[in-house]
Structure 1
Amino acid sequence: MGLDDDAREYHREDPPGKIEIATTKPTNTQRDLSLAYSPGVAAPCLDIDEDPEKAFEYTAKGNLVGVVSNGSAVLGLGNIGAQASKPVMEGKGVLFKRFADIDVFDIELDIAEVEPFVEAVAAMEPTFGGINLEDIKAPECFEIERRLRERMDIPVFHDDQHGTAIISGAALLNAADIIEKDLSDLEIVFSGAGASAIATAKFYVSLGAEKENITMCDSSGIITQERADAGDVNEYKREFARDTAGGDLAAAMEDADVFVGLSVGGIVSQEMVQSMADDPILFAMANPDPEITYEDAKAARDDTVIMATGRSDYPNMVNNVLGFPFLFRGALDVRATEINEKMKRAAAEALADLARQDVPDAVVKAYGDDPLQFGPDYVIPKPLDPRVLFEVAPAVAQAAMDSGAARTAVDPEGYRERLEARLGKSREMMRVVLNKAKSEPKRIALAEGTDEKMIRAAYQLSEQGIAEPVLLGDGDRIRRTADELGLSFEPEIVDPDAHELEPYAERLYELRKRKGVTRREASELVRRDTNYLGSVMVEMDDTDAMLTGLTHHYPSALRPPLQVVGSAEDAEHVAGVYMLTFKNRVIFCADTTVNQAPDDEVLAEVTKHTADLARRFNVEPRAALLSYSNFGSVDNEGTRKPREAVARLHDDPEVDFPVDGEMQADTAVVEDILEGTYGFSDLEEPANVLIFPNLEAGNIGYKLLQRLGGAEAIGPMLVGMDKPVHVLQRGDEVKDIVNLAGVAVVDAQD
């Protein structure tokens, strides 16, 4: 099957289409229904009648956007009409939800004329928090947007006009910086004079380009003042008429600094590129085929050519999904009355700034593991970069507040945390820990300090104020890698070949001399194995915490800290815990990495450690010790261990959280089973701390929950150690290192 047939099957598969309506409140009982509809619904209706602003409190209006089109200019398809455009508008709704958690009703209007179209959309204002106009042909789209913006007290935004302007504007800011030219000096040529081109030209002017330096070409050539005076162009094109000699696109491109293509594919030759000024910028954004291919543009010259297209298979994809979800997110969250020029500029500047930052591993993997680093082939972020939400939406919200378009205000830091929570419970949970870490950063030894991921993590830890990283390893190699990555920071480095390590060797000898380690071996261990070096540094309080494991098998990485740091004074055993975050639930799973066949004493101790860990994440623990038996339904050595562990915990005066078992996994997490069949259980609510009977069950269980349950996993976090030490899994990403470092800092604070 080809792509077209795959797409047909994708849309046809039951249920047809790509969207559905889902309820957000309980509807299980008669009382639920009476609150949702009659008679309870009367109360919020009357409140809204008295104060229309209450609609934002009582209804979905504040998170609902109308995507409205008449299908008169569908990208790549032309005037296919309202009904045929519906798959596109549904797709737009999918992007709103996927990238910014905004709900959408797609509205396809079979109306071609401006007046009735405006009347129909304006009448829908009570329903929506914003209107996204889509795929409406020029010049009608200009008039429709202008009149709706004047009439409606909610944001109205025509993405075809302004989306490309904002995204390519961000690319232009960075491209001009790379080639060291001022925006005000750039000679800019446009191929195409439709809605998108005119809006983009206007936006470039608002960013700092000079209007008199913009030359716009339509299918008849350069738009000159002579053509404008003769009535050869409409009023919207006339704004960019230049008092210059006429000519074709090739003539316009001579000595130009920037080419902006919003026209048709294949109309720019290598000779035309060669005629441009030094270090040219080409945004060839016609779809599906650009005005000139990436390969041809690059091959045309020997100097720097910064090339952007509308295609995902080339660098610098100008994709509107980088704009509209986040513009509306910021606008909706401050109940803005419009999306104004200041808000659009804020979005472009935030995107430009984000492209200069280190790119997360997950984004690199999503795009084929090719390096992504600020430069000619990376001037705008990738659409799948989740950080766009956290950077653009706050910038837009702030600009709305500064410009007077906002009805309400948001606290910038608190707002960012709310946005993170929209992308998943794990981000919300980690934000609790990272904020606490920032309140009192600690020194943390990164044992595999020469690894690129560790260096990038160290940069983020330092930049965000989470920790004071200490990289262990070859200092020259670390600094060289940091320079190659463009990370401008001066990390603290402990180089075994350049630092005095005798005190650490002496301490290691003291700790291990009766366990087979000679004085000479101790000196060799701290010099050749940074896991031993880091462990001794933590043990001697030269650093407050340690991370390792990124390039080692888990047992070999765990062995040095266990030998040197050991378990806490009040602990006999350590354990590995994963925090699994689901959409509306958080579960801590132990032991998943350390104890192979724990007895009842170990299970009880692991339960206490895991409960303490849950509280560091502001989660009140409810623990269940798991088995294949429910409360004595099977009696053998295996089921007695968790049962006896529960008895130990019930007798322990330090245990101040509910705990029960042995019980099956579904009993532990399903409220109906707990309340019904086992109403006598000490757990009044489902458990959020699951203690597995052995390592095999724990490791299998957490991985099944993660993969089949769609959970995000944070860990493994070591509990029970005398000092904060955490062992990463091989292949963990930078964000995993940063998260575990945050946990280690909080451990050190406590």
Structure 2
Amino acid sequence: MGLDEDSLAYHKRDPPGKIEISTTKPTNTQRDLSLAYSPGVAAPCLEIEKNPDDAYTYTAKGNMVGVISNGSAVLGLGDIGAQASKPVMEGKGVLFKRFADIDVFDIELDLDDPEAIIASVKAMEPTFGGINLEDIKAPECFTIEERLREEMNIPVFHDDQHGTAIISGAALLNASDVVDKDLDSLNIVFSGAGASAIATARFYVSLGAKKENITMCDSSGIITKQRAEEGDVNEYKQQFARDVPEGGLADAMEGADVFAGLSIGGIVNQEMVKSMASDPIIFAMANPDPEITYEDAKAARDDMVIMATGRSDYPNQVNNVLGFPFIFRGALDVRASEINEEMKIAAAKALARLARQDVPDAVVKAYGDQPIQFGPDYIIPKPVDPRVLFEVAPAVAKAAIDSDASRIELDIDHYVEKLEARLGKSREMMRVVLNKAKLDPKRVVLAEGDDEKMVRAAYQLVEQGIAEPILIGDRDRIWETSQRLGLEFEPEIVDPDQSNLDAYADRLYELRRRKGVTRREADELITDGNYLGSVLVEMGDADAMLTGLTHHYPSALRPPLQVIGTAEDANYAAGVYMLTFKNRVIFCVDTTVNLDPTEEVLAEITKHTATLARRFNVEPRAALLSYSNFGSVDNEGTAKVRRAARTLRADPAVDFPVDGEMQADTAVVKSILDGTYEFSDLKKSANVLVFPNLEAGNIAYKLLQRLGGAEAIGPMLVGMDKPVHVLQRGDEVKDIVNLASVAVVDAQENN
């Protein structure tokens, strides 16, 4: 099937459309329903009657945006009417929810009269925390937005005007820096003079461009003073009328530094591009076909051509989804009365800053694993970059507060943590550890330090103040990698080929000489990053260690076990994964180390995992799992688990609830515990799951991750004498940073 057929099948699949309403509170019992509706609903109604602002406390208003259109200017389709525009408005709601967790009602108004639209939207103010106007034709859209902004006390934002302005504005900030031209010196030509073009030109002026340097062309040519005096252009175009001779787009582009296209495809040819100033900036943003193709623009000249389009298959996509979800998120969260110019500028500058940062692996993978770093082909972030939320929304919120557009103030650092929690429980949990790590950063060895991911992780650890990384590896390769990626930092490097390792070889020999290692073998082994890193930690020259990115797990684990070993009060190490779901967290052990643990091993690793859970501010409740419930099956396998649970319950040092043996659903479903096994020491569902063997643990955590929608953090190694964590081969940079943070907190507690 073609794209059209696929789209029709997608939209009509049951249930039809793309959105639904779901409840956020329990509705399972009669009491739940009486609280949700009559008679309980009377109490919040009366509170809101007394204080209208309490609508933000007792209703969804503060997270609700109205996406409103009359379908008179739908992108690429034109005036198709209100009803036909509904799939577009539903799609807008999907983007709001997907990228910023904002709920949307889409409202299609079968109205053409601007006054009727204004009156209708204004009457909806009690329902919404903000209004997103969409696909309303010019010039009526200007009047509608201006009046609603004046007459309503919630944010009103016409995305067709301001979205492209903000995103391309961010691109312009970075592009002018790349070509080393000042913003106020740029000669800018616009092709198109509709709502988006006029709003974009206005915004470029707000960013620092000079209005007298902007030439705007419509379908009749350059908008000149003469045309304005003759009444040939409307009042909105007139503000960009220039006192220059009349001419066409080709005349306007001659000598221009910047071309901003918001018109129709194919209107620009290579000769026009050749006539522009050196190192031209070309934003050909007509959709679906740009004013000139990426290939033609690049081929037209030998110097640098910075090219942006609205398409995802070319570099520098100007996509409004980089703006509106996050702008509204910041505005809603401070209960802003408007989205003003200061907030829009803050959004553009935040996007520009983000494009200069190291790009997460997940984003690189989404774009074919091709390198992405700041430069001519990367001047604005990719639309799928999850960091946009944490950069743009706080910047907008702060600008709203600073410009007196907010009703409440926020602690911006705390606000970022709240935003992270919206994207998943794993981010919320890791924030606990990251904050602890930043209080007292430790020296963390990255044993495979010349791997590109390790270099990038080291940079992030330094930038975020989490740790002081020590990279083991080829010094020249590490420096070449950091320079190629534009990472400006000076990490500590230990190059086995250039460093004096005699003291470390001596210590390795001392530790392993009665384990079959000769002095000559110690000299050879110490050049291995895993052995060298382990000795650095063992001798106290580093506080923690990470390895495993390019090694099989057993081979990466062996050196630290041989050199560092387990803690004084521990005989066994174990691997733990933290799995996060929407509303709960569980720790799974053992998933990586002990093949067939005895009851002593099970008991010990349960205690280790409980300690780990508390590092994440989680009070442990442990269940030792089996396929038997409290003796329902009696054999050596189930008895082993039962004895381990009994040992733990009898241990006075165990200060957390623990029970077993029990089946997995018994452990995690409270109603089973309450209804059938009320005698259990677990009064709430377990959050530490101890598996009877490695096979069960590994299978279970992977199924929960892949089919249960859990996010996995780990594996975290517990029971070691000093902090060591072994990554999984192919882990991403964020996984390295997360485990390094856990290692820092481990080291803090060890000290």
Which category describes the TM-score, using the shorter chain as reference length?
over 0.9
Structure 1 position 370, deviation (Å): 1.0
Which residue pairs with 1:203 in the alignment? 203
Which residue pairs with 2:665 in the alignment? 666
Structure 1 position 500, deviation (Å): 1.5
Aligned pairs for 1:579-618 (under 5 A) are 579-618=578-617
Give the partner amino acid of 1:703.
Answer: K
Structure 1 position 115, deviation (Å): 0.5
Which residue pairs with 2:70 in the alignment? 70
Cα separation, 2, equivalents of 1:33 and 1:438 = 45
Cα separation, 2, equivalents of 1:469 and 1:456 = 11
- What SS class does the counterpart of residue 27 from structure 2 fall into? coil
Structure 1 position 498, deviation (Å): 1.7
- What SS class does the counterpart of residue 526 from structure 2 fall into? helix
Give the partner amino acid of 1:380.
Answer: I
Which residue pairs with 2:119 in the alignment? 119
Give the partner amino acid of 1:537.
Answer: L
Which residue pairs with 2:395 in the alignment? 395
Aligned pairs for 1:378-417 (under 5 A) are 378-417=378-417
Give the partner amino acid of 1:170.
Answer: A
Structure 1 position 679, deviation (Å): 1.4
Please give the per-residue CA displacement for 1:418-451, whole angstroms capped at 9, x wherever unaligned: 0000000000000000000000000000000000
Cα separation, 2, equivalents of 1:640 and 1:649 = 14
Is residue 2:157 matched to residue 1:157? yes
Please give the per-residue CA displacement for 1:71-102, whole angstroms capped at 9, x wherever unaligned: 00000000000000000000000000000000
Cα separation, 2, equivalents of 1:263 and 1:350 = 27
Give the partner amino acid of 1:654.
Answer: A
Structure 1 position 694, deviation (Å): 0.2
Structure 1 position 672, deviation (Å): 1.3
Structure 1 position 473, deviation (Å): 0.9
Cα separation, 2, equivalents of 1:427 and 1:3 = 36
Cα separation, 2, equivalents of 1:641 and 1:687 = 20
Please give the per-residue CA displacement for 1:245-300, whole angstroms capped at 9, x wherever unaligned: 01010010000000000000001000000000000000000000000000000000
Which residue pairs with 1:705 in the alignment? 704
Please give the per-residue CA displacement for 1:193-222, whole angstroms capped at 9, x wherever unaligned: 000000000000000000000000000000
Is residue 2:19 matched to residue 1:22? no
Structure 1 position 48, deviation (Å): 0.5
Which residue pairs with 1:6 in the alignment? 6
Cα separation, 2, equivalents of 1:51 and 1:267 = 56
Cα separation, 2, equivalents of 1:584 and 1:502 = 52
- What SS class does the counterpart of residue 105 from structure 1 fall into? strand
Cα separation, 1, equivalents of 2:86 and 2:156 = 20
Structure 1 position 477, deviation (Å): 1.0
Is residue 2:251 matched to residue 1:251? yes
Please give the per-residue CA displacement for 1:463-507, whole angstroms capped at 9, x wherever unaligned: 100000000011111111100010000000011122121111011
- What SS class does the counterpart of residue 593 from structure 2 fall into? coil
Which residue pairs with 1:689 in the alignment? 688
Structure 1 position 590, deviation (Å): 0.3
Structure 1 position 31, deviation (Å): 1.0
Aligned pairs for 1:505-524 (under 5 A) are 505-524=505-524
Structure 1 position 15, deviation (Å): 0.4
Which residue pairs with 1:725 in the alignment? 724
Give the partner amino acid of 1:167.
Answer: I
Which residue pairs with 1:49 in the alignment? 49
Give the partner amino acid of 1:551.
Answer: T
Cα separation, 1, equivalents of 2:19 and 2:540 = 56
Which residue pairs with 2:630 in the alignment? 631
Structure 1 position 637, deviation (Å): 0.5
Which residue pairs with 2:375 in the alignment? 375
Aligned pairs for 1:241-640 (under 5 A) are 241-527=241-527, 529-640=528-639
Cα separation, 2, equivalents of 1:46 and 1:330 = 29
Cα separation, 1, equivalents of 2:104 and 2:641 = 49
Cα separation, 1, equivalents of 2:556 and 2:368 = 30
Structure 1 position 680, deviation (Å): 1.3
Cα separation, 2, equivalents of 1:189 and 1:538 = 60
Cα separation, 2, equivalents of 1:223 and 1:679 = 81
- What SS class does the counterpart of residue 676 from structure 1 fall into? helix
Give the partner amino acid of 2:546.
Answer: L
Cα separation, 2, equivalents of 1:105 and 1:613 = 43
Cα separation, 2, equivalents of 1:630 and 1:17 = 45
After the TM superposition, list the runs of 4 or more consecutive aligned residues in structure 1 that deviate by more than 2 angstroms.
none
Superposed CA RMSD in Å reads: 0.4
Cα separation, 1, equivalents of 2:675 and 2:301 = 75
Structure 1 position 39, deviation (Å): 0.9
Cα separation, 2, equivalents of 1:679 and 1:24 = 29
- What SS class does the counterpart of residue 588 from structure 2 fall into? strand
Give the partner amino acid of 1:569.
Answer: E
Cα separation, 1, equivalents of 2:251 and 2:181 = 22
Cα separation, 1, equivalents of 2:296 and 2:39 = 68
Cα separation, 2, equivalents of 1:140 and 1:651 = 77
- What SS class does the counterpart of residue 189 from structure 1 fall into? strand
Give the partner amino acid of 1:697.
Answer: A
Which residue pairs with 2:746 in the alignment? 747
Cα separation, 1, equivalents of 2:12 and 2:333 = 35
Cα separation, 1, equivalents of 2:88 and 2:667 = 44
Cα separation, 2, equivalents of 1:487 and 1:34 = 58
Cα separation, 2, equivalents of 1:246 and 1:683 = 83
Is residue 2:234 matched to residue 1:230? no
Which residue pairs with 1:653 in the alignment? 652
Please give the per-residue CA displacement for 1:305-361, whole angstroms capped at 9, x wherever unaligned: 000000000000000000000000000000000000000000000000000000000
Cα separation, 1, equivalents of 2:36 and 2:69 = 31
Moved more, 36-45 or 224-233: 36-45
- What SS class does the counterpart of residue 532 from structure 1 fall into? helix
Give the partner amino acid of 2:46.
Answer: L
- What SS class does the counterpart of residue 19 from structure 1 fall into? coil
Which residue pairs with 1:132 in the alignment? 132
Q: TM-score, normalised by structure 2?
A: 1.00
- What SS class does the counterpart of residue 14 from structure 1 fall into? coil
Structure 1 position 639, deviation (Å): 0.3
The runs of 5 or more residues in structure 2 that have no matched partner are: none
- Identity %, equivalent residues: 81
Cα separation, 1, equivalents of 2:209 and 2:513 = 72
The runs of 5 or more residues in structure 1 that have no matched partner are: none
- What SS class does the counterpart of residue 628 from structure 2 fall into? coil
Give the partner amino acid of 1:664.
Answer: Q
- What SS class does the counterpart of residue 49 from structure 1 fall into? helix
Cα separation, 2, equivalents of 1:7 and 1:199 = 32
Structure 1 position 523, deviation (Å): 1.0
Cα separation, 1, equivalents of 2:671 and 2:13 = 34
Cα separation, 2, equivalents of 1:84 and 1:641 = 65
